[in-house]
Amino acid sequence: MQSIRTAAVIGAGVMGAGIAAQFANAGIPVLLLDIVPAGSKDRNGLATAAIAKMLKTEPAPFMSARAAKLVTPGNIEDHLTRLAECDWIIEAVVERLDVKQSLYRKIDAVRRPGTAISSNTSTIPLQQLTQGLSDAFARDFLITHFFNPPRYMRLLEIVAGATTDPKITESIVDFADRALGKSIVRCKDSPGFIANRLGVYWLQVGVIEALDAGLTIEEADAVIGKPMGIPKTGVFGLIDLVGLDLMPHINASLARALPATDAFHEANRELPLITKMIADGYTGRKGKGGFYRLNRTGGGKVKESIDLASGSYRPEHPRDLPELKGAAKDLRGLLSSDGKYGRYAWRVLGQTLAYAAGLVPEAADDISAIDEAMRLGYNWQWGPFELIDKLGAAWVSDKLAKDGMRVPALLRAARDKTFYRHLDGRRQFLGADGEYRDLVRPTGVLMLEDIKRVSKPVLKNASASVWDIGDRVLCFEFTSKSNSLDGEIIALLGQTIAVVKEKYAALVIYNEGANFSVGANLGLAIFAANIAAWSEIDKLLSAGQQTYSALKYAPFPVVSAPAGMALGGGCEILLHSDAVQAHAESYIGLVECGVGVVPAWGGCKEMLARWSAGGLLPNGPMPAASKVFETVSTATVSKSAANAKELSFLRPADGITMNRYRLLGDAKALALKLAQNYVAPKPAEFKLPGAAGKLAFSMAVDSYHQRGLATDHDRVVADELAGVLCGGPADLVDVVTEQQLLNLERGAFMRLMKTEGTLARIEHMLVTGKPLRN
Amino acid sequence: MINVVIAGYVRSPFTLANKGALARVRPDDIAAQVVAALIERTRVNPQDLEDLIVGCAFPEGEQGFNVGRMIGLLAGLPQSVGGMTVNRFCGSSMQSVHIAAGQIQLGAGEVFIAAGVESMTRVPMMGFNPLPNPALHAMVPAAYLGMGDTAENVAAKWHISRTDQEAFAVRSQQHAAAAAQGGRFADEIVDIKHQGVVTDQDGCLRPDTTAAGLAQLKPAFDKEGTVTAGTSSPLTDGASAVLVCSEEYARRNGLTPLARIRSVAVAGCAPEIMGIGPVAASTKALKRAGIKMADVDVVELNEAFASQALACARDLGIRDEVLNIDGGAIALGHPLGATGARIVGKAASLLKRVGGRYALATQCIGGGQGIATLLERI
């Protein structure tokens, strides 16, 4: 059921264009309109330029090159009548009431009645926007406030007016959730809605308290970041990202709209330093720098930052402060400590939490909306009320009172309670009336965290757990650090296969970490190598190969459901699954060559099988091997699930889920579908080019080396990879089996593990997190 | 001995591989239109044709199936006309001319079409299944050496500086731009129609090229090297064709011969310096005709790379004013199999235009060869 088949976005600025791109990512044709630029030959120039710019932007607004073709550029003089074809019209023009209203009148004259119209305004109340417009217009109108960048930020704030038709709202909510992948937070028609109201207050407090306390920006960001579960950009880094020049506009608009009693006014102090920085062109990362900058004068690259006292740049200070060690585990300790960091942390967080508690019911109906808005709109790990629960509502209230700060009624009322609780496995939140209510997931959403709260794992060891997710489907969850793969996971996978065979219909491999899996645990590999425990490494390779093969040929369907990174061994699990249901933001790749080895849990074998069977390539032994060589030797990682299909990490029929919350539900549904009349796949057979093909690859790599694009050790690694992909000693008339390829993978891996170049790469990756180009 | 003449020359526009106007057109479709246009322009009676000889450097994929025969059928040649495909890499379609001339002198036919084609978009250089022989590679490591590497070797061995290469590239671009502006390609380029779109202009030319601009480019093949994309011929799509017949046939049928073939030659050289191949081949051809380079009024020397073209020009003593008068492959492009017929046809028509007596067309060939054709004005 999809109510929206085509859409239009008016206003081709950063937000409008980015919103149009997300429609295209969802497969929806979208019209992107802007004004006709004065004196320009191309009447669609603004929209055309916006699309062209997005194709060069990193991180990319489009998930695939194909998506970009779904955006049609146009202008509001020639193409307004085409709005009659659209099911949803989004206005994202300049934040001026008169401009918006004049556009609405034009839209109202051409649109089909019943078409949803929404504004992406972040500051103008809905009541003002619809004033004086037709009743029919007001019925179909709402605010949909996207966050920048629209592809990557999961939050969508929705404001429906008193006159908005609930059916319109529901159809937009449903579409934005399922097709655009957004998580909806319903807001009241109040200034700044929720996320920016609180977020801007928090940033402003963060800046002035740092100034007052005489902290450096590095210290401030370190205190506000990790200890509070806030991204390491902290306060100043985030302002750089948002743009310094935007801050005065947002502050002024909030100051105008908020009542004089609002605490925002106390924090809205004019800051001459920021005024000067903007005047000097230091507007943040989009410009030549902000609080932080990369000084390239003299051909160098020096990281610098602003000295808040003098206002001039100086070399950046280290950001890891020994005093903050353990603060993430003991936030209360940090907030209670009397040092300058403790005082700053408390001043900022205390005021922010108090302000958050004052937003119910003015900006939000309940606390869960505020927490969700801050988690998804500002990437906070915990929302403000979750933070209060961690600290204790009474503790926070008392400390606020002790320091002479305001204690909001909601916080006072909660003093002997928690804002969230679990009752019979259901998560509940504290309502403004003091009653607990269930947190209800949207229909079709299945979360492992909910299941884990009410059940015990079917199987479990130190690195993984297996959960019964109902309807005879098991879910295999990695629980190791960064979901890295080790012997424990391989062993538990083996046991799981036996259990599913006996009692269940299907297996889903899924977890709710930031990344599906970053690949094999390199620390273990280097440890084994350092004590020359080669047989241990070989044993783990062999166990992984056998287990992944067992997954593939098990008599039940296996569906993997990645989100975030699925690298190396994590990617190889996807390759051995019957099907994949991937989150749209999946970054999949065989990156082994980056650390000096080759995929050896069947990754080479499976990629060869895919490209050989695809029918997309010319005949002969080389094309499939070349494709795999190109992808694997360069450690290519997909930039989206759609891109992973182009690279054959995903099959054409694999599913893509836009909304992260819906991934497990979709994967389970796919597994159950496959379980009907399931037949395990047949092993592939290969015809590979042998020594001649290997020579062709090595000549290509030599040429890259000569051009300075491949390093010395790249040649060694690529040579081993080429050996595997060409079938080792096989002649091109031989039939190579899966087992023979697995043996070649293992042999190549073991030889590479014994080279200094590979050990140096692994060590470097473990220490720095970055690949070594040796 | 039977005199053999070139009695007509046409080519398709040459466009950049992968992004040019012909990227989506099959190579056999391009070549068939070129062959049909040659017949139309020369007014040769197709029933008289003995054979269509098509040069192609990577005759596989859409260039497979003995593409020479397929192009004949596509072009609507009578079924009685033969069709063959010749491969001598970049020298393929010059070899087509040589085969036609030899057949005529053997009395095995009076009139032939010698053509060439390459879509470097649709059939990649090295083909879809490059499978070099490891034993040969061990024995003669340079046998499969990349062309860019050979260009670097020639630059080093003949001391051709990067600045000289860039000046030569600018010269090629300027000559080609002037010729295009002056309408001097009009008599050779034929329209290529595909799905309602007509391509009638060369697509590789970069008339704004400057030495300063070229100096900014990174080396393309060796980080320490001197050869860049700007001093190399671009990957190109295109086709060309010349009409080769006996002088007697041309006279009898009222055709207009452009030039007579005086001598031809091929010669091998070390694979790692394949770019110098034209020196030995041209020397042989000149000697066979009993002519000195100083007597030659028009030279079409293929510009695979500026470094090798300059080395050959210096070793052969080619005067600047006779060399690549309408520009060369650095500007025009180099669709491998099509270049030989282009430069033979171009040399013949230039001879007519500038009014000289002798013209030389010559080119280097990957693997270490050169090929040359010496023409005389009629």
Phi, psi for residue A457 in degrees, rounded to 5: -65, 145
Q: Please give the pLDDT value at position A2.
A: 43
Q: A-chain residues within 8 Å CB-CB of B130?
A: 622, 693, 696
Q: Residue A304: how many CB atoms within 10 A of its CB?
A: 16
Q: Please check whether residue B295 lies inside any domain of the structure.
A: yes
Q: Does A432 touch chain B (CB under 8 A)?
A: no
Q: Please check whether residue B24 lies inside any domain of the structure.
A: no
| Mean pLDDT, residues A433-454 taken together | 92
* Active-site annotation holds for B175: no
**Range scoring the smallest mean pLDDT among A272-276, B162-166, B322-326:** A272-276
Q: Please give the pLDDT value at position A1.
A: 34
Spatial CB neighbours of A281, under 8 Å, sequence gap ≥ 6 = A287, A288
Domain region containing A717? 597-634+688-774
Task: Give the pLDDT confidence of B100-117 residue by residue, as tens digits.
Answer: 999 999 999 999 999 999
Task: Give the pLDDT confidence of A649-665 residue by residue, as tens digits.
Answer: 999 999 999 999 999 99
Q: Does A530 touch chain B (CB under 8 A)?
A: no
Compare CB distances from B131 to A618, A692, A706 and report the shortest one's residue: A692
Number of domains in chain A: 4
Domain region containing B314? 259-377
Contact A621 B137 (CB under 8 A): no
Cα(A218)–Cα(B164) distance, rounded to whole angstroms? 53
Compare CB distances from A695 to B128, B134, B148 and report the shortest one's residue: B134
Cα(A389)–Cα(A385) distance, rounded to whole angstroms? 6
Q: Are B375 and B6 in contact (CB under 8 A)?
A: yes
Contact A732 B131 (CB under 8 A): yes
Q: Are residues A644 and A627 in the same domain?
A: no
Q: Are B17 and B9 in contact (CB under 8 A)?
A: no
Q: Please check whether residue A137 lies inside any domain of the structure.
A: yes
> Among candidates A376, A419, A402, A395, which has minimal Cα distance to A331?
A395
Q: Please check whether residue B286 lies inside any domain of the structure.
A: yes
Vertex A484, ends A478 and A485: CA angle to 5°?
80
Q: Are A581 and A663 in contact (CB under 8 A)?
A: yes
Q: Are residues A406 and A275 in the same domain?
A: yes
Residue percentage of chain A with pLDDT more than 90: 88
The residue ranges of DSSP E strands in B220-378, in sequence order, are 236-246, 259-268, 296-301, 358-365, 369-377
Q: Please give the pLDDT value at position A270.
A: 85
Indicate the pLDDT class of residue B216, thresholds 50, 70 and 90. very high
Cα(A194)–Cα(A185) distance, rounded to whole angstroms? 9
Q: Are residues A564 and A601 in the same domain?
A: no
- Crossing angle of helices A487-503 and A534-553, rounded to 10°: 30
Q: How much is the pTM?
A: 0.91
Compare CB distances from A622 to B130, B134, B223 and report the shortest one's residue: B130
Domain end, chosen from A158, A186, A214, is at A186
The yes-or-no verdict on residue A299 having pLDDT over 80 is no
Q: Does B149 touch chain A (CB under 8 A)?
A: yes
Q: Please give the pLDDT value at position A604.
A: 98
3-state DSSP assignment of residue A637: strand
Q: Chains A, B: CB contacts under 8 A, how many?
A: 51
The dihedral region occupied by B355, where left means phi > 0, alpha psi between -120 and 50, and beta the remainder, is: left
Amino acid (1-letter code) at residue A150: P
Task: Give the pLDDT confidence of A360-379 residue by residue, as tens digits.
Answer: 999 999 999 999 999 999 99
Q: Are A37 and A46 in contact (CB under 8 A)?
A: yes
Give the residue from chain B lying closest to A617, CA to CA: B128
Cα(A612)–Cα(B77) distance, rounded to whole angstroms? 39
Q: B-chain residues within 8 Å CB-CB of A617?
A: 128
Q: Using alpha carbons only, how large is chain A's radius of gyration in Å?
A: 28
Contact A618 B61 (CB under 8 A): yes
Q: What is the ipTM of this complex?
A: 0.90
Phi, psi for residue B210 in degrees, rounded to 5: -125, 160
Q: A-chain residues within 8 Å CB-CB of B148?
A: 703
Q: Residue A82: how many CB atoms within 10 A of its CB?
A: 15
Which residues make beta-bridge pairs with B117?
B239
- Rounded to a whole number of angstroms, the distance between the first and last alpha carbons of chain A is 53
Indicate the pLDDT class of residue B141, thresholds 50, 70 and 90. very high
Using DSSP bridges, classify how beta strands A464-468 and A459-460 pair: parallel, antiparallel or unpaired: antiparallel
- Which residue is catalytic, options B90, B245, B269, B312? B90
Contact B126 A696 (CB under 8 A): yes
Contact B222 A707 (CB under 8 A): yes
Tell me the torsion sign for CA atoms A570, A575, A578, A583: positive
3-state DSSP assignment of residue A15: helix
Q: Record the tokens describing residue A642, joined without a space.
A: 């759609």
Q: Please check whether residue A94 lies inside any domain of the structure.
A: yes
Give the residue from chain A lying closest to B147, CA to CA: A703
- Rounded to a whole number of angstroms, the distance between the first and last alpha carbons of chain B is 16
3-state DSSP assignment of residue A111: coil
Q: Are B8 and B114 in contact (CB under 8 A)?
A: no
Q: What is the DSSP string of B223-247?
A: TT-S-BGGGBPPPEEEEEEEEEEEH
User: Which DSSP category does A299 fall into?
Assistant: G
Q: Are residues A87 and A180 in the same domain?
A: yes
Q: Does A329 touch chain B (CB under 8 A)?
A: no
Q: Does B148 touch chain A (CB under 8 A)?
A: yes
Compare CB distances from B133 to A692, A699, A732 and report the shortest one's residue: A692
Q: Are B50 and B111 in contact (CB under 8 A)?
A: yes
Using DSSP bridges, classify how beta strands A426-430 and A420-423 pair: parallel, antiparallel or unpaired: antiparallel
Task: Give the pLDDT confidence of A20-66 residue by residue, as tens digits.
Answer: 999 999 999 999 999 999 888 899 999 999 999 999 999 999 999 99
**Helix (H), strand (E) counts: chain B:** 12, 12
Using DSSP bridges, classify how beta strands A464-468 and A473-478 pair: parallel, antiparallel or unpaired: antiparallel
Q: Are residues A499 and A399 in the same domain?
A: no
Cα(A75)–Cα(A53) distance, rounded to whole angstroms? 17
Q: Which of B60, B129, B221, B227 to mutate to test the interface with A (most CBs of A within 10 A)?
A: B129
Cα(B58)–Cα(B55) distance, rounded to whole angstroms? 9
Q: Are residues A245 and A362 in the same domain?
A: yes
Q: Record the tokens describing residue A345, joined without a space.
A: 């942390």
Q: Are residues A228 and A98 in the same domain?
A: no
The yes-or-no verdict on residue B335 having pLDDT over 90 is yes
Cα(B11)–Cα(B44) distance, rounded to whole angstroms? 17
> Among candidates A529, A526, A514, A527, which has minimal Cα distance to A481?
A514
Q: Please give the pLDDT value at position A459.
A: 98
Q: Which of B58, B65, B126, B131 to mutate to test the interface with A (most CBs of A within 10 A)?
A: B131
C-alpha distances in angstroms, A587 versus A26, A563, B340?
Answer: 17, 8, 48
Contact B223 A696 (CB under 8 A): no
Q: Please check whether residue A63 lies inside any domain of the structure.
A: yes
* Active-site annotation holds for B245: no
The yes-or-no verdict on residue A298 having pLDDT over 90 is no
C-alpha distances in angstroms, A481 versus A320, B20, B54?
Answer: 21, 50, 63
Domain containing residue B359: CATH number:
3.40.47.10
| Mean pLDDT, residues B133-153 taken together | 96
Q: Record the tokens describing residue B207, joined without a space.
A: 């008339």
Q: Does A699 touch chain B (CB under 8 A)?
A: yes
Q: Does A703 touch chain B (CB under 8 A)?
A: yes
Domain end, chosen from A648, A680, A712, is at A680
Q: Does B139 touch chain A (CB under 8 A)?
A: no
Contact A732 B221 (CB under 8 A): no
Cα(A318)–Cα(A222) distance, rounded to whole angstroms? 10
Spatial CB neighbours of A604, under 8 Å, sequence gap ≥ 6 = A598, A628, A632, A721, A724, A725, A741, A744, A745
- Which residue is catalytic, options B175, B204, B269, B334? B334
> Among candidates A643, A514, A666, A520, which has minimal Cα distance to A584?
A643
Q: Are residues A156 and A229 in the same domain?
A: no
Q: Does A728 touch chain B (CB under 8 A)?
A: no
Q: Please check whether residue B213 lies inside any domain of the structure.
A: no
Q: Are B331 and B240 in contact (CB under 8 A)?
A: no
Give the residue from chain B lying closest to A621, CA to CA: B129
C-alpha distances in angstroms, A680 versus A506, A571, A648, A674?
Answer: 12, 20, 20, 10
> Among candidates B372, B354, B363, which has minimal Cα distance to B179?
B354
User: Which DSSP category does A584 fall into?
Assistant: S
The yes-or-no verdict on residue B247 having pLDDT over 60 is yes
Q: A-chain residues within 8 Å CB-CB of B61?
A: 618
Q: Please check whether residue A358 lies inside any domain of the structure.
A: yes
3-state DSSP assignment of residue A148: coil
Domain containing residue A21: CATH number:
3.40.50.720
Compare CB distances from A708 to B61, B126, B223 and report the shortest one's residue: B223
Q: Please check whether residue B312 lies inside any domain of the structure.
A: yes
Q: Does A333 touch chain B (CB under 8 A)?
A: no
The yes-or-no verdict on residue A434 having pLDDT over 60 is yes
Domain containing residue A306: CATH number:
1.10.1040.50
| Mean pLDDT, residues A376-384 taken together | 96
Given strand A436-438, what is the order of strands in its sheet? A420-423, A426-430, A436-438
Domain end, chosen from A122, A155, A186, is at A186
Q: A-chain residues within 8 Å CB-CB of B144?
A: 695, 699
Number of domains in chain B: 1
Chain centroid to Cα A730, Å, comes to 43
| Mean pLDDT, residues A586-601 taken together | 98
Using DSSP bridges, classify how beta strands B369-377 and B358-365 pair: parallel, antiparallel or unpaired: antiparallel
**Range scoring the smallest mean pLDDT among A97-106, A191-200, A285-294, A550-559:** A285-294
Q: Does B130 touch chain A (CB under 8 A)?
A: yes
Q: Record the tokens describing residue B136, joined without a space.
A: 């040969």
**Rounded mean pLDDT of chain A?**
95
Indicate the pLDDT class of residue A616, thresholds 50, 70 and 90. confident
**Range scoring the smallest mean pLDDT among A240-244, B78-82, B241-245:** A240-244
Q: Which of A619, A626, A697, A699 to mutate to test the interface with B (most CBs of B within 10 A)?
A: A699
Give the residue from chain B lying closest to A625, CA to CA: B129
